[in-house]
Amino acid sequence: MSLAIDVDDVVSVLLSDGEWYGVQDYSFTIDSYEYLYFSEAEKDGDYRSKLEPHNIVHGGGSSGITASGFGFKWTTGGIWMYGPLSAIVSVKVER
């Protein structure tokens, strides 16, 4: 048995800094966690669909850093927040 948290039901996230962050518009997601680089020329088009290996600055799982991460659009200012899954202490869900 698992707790089965539906990512579309997450409305708030408690991070390891002790603060709750509101999640806007069902934006919470979990995926691989890596840093990428895109030149200004690449950013002019749909650059995210054209990922090349040379664009990966630091891949998930390298140097002992977790490969699992999260992302969501924060309700304050509409800013996107990303981080390692291990930074999440708790989530609030609306069912």
Is pTM beyond 0.85? Reply is: no
- Is 68 part of any domain? yes
Residue 9 has pLDDT above 90, yes or no: yes
Residue 19 has pLDDT above 70, yes or no: yes
- Is 65 part of any domain? yes
Q: How far apart are CA 29 and CA 70, in angstroms?
A: 6
Range of the domain at 30: 7-89
CA distances, 82 to each of 2, 50, 62 (Å):
25, 21, 17
Q: What is the pLDDT of residue 92?
A: 98
The structural domain count of the chain equals 1
C-beta of residue 10 within 8 angstroms of C-beta of residue 3:
no
- Is 64 part of any domain? yes
Element of type H or E holding 41: helix 40-43
| pLDDT single digits (tens) 20-79 | 999 999 999 998 877 777 666 555 655 555 555 457 655 665 566 667 899 999 999 889
- Is 2 part of any domain? no
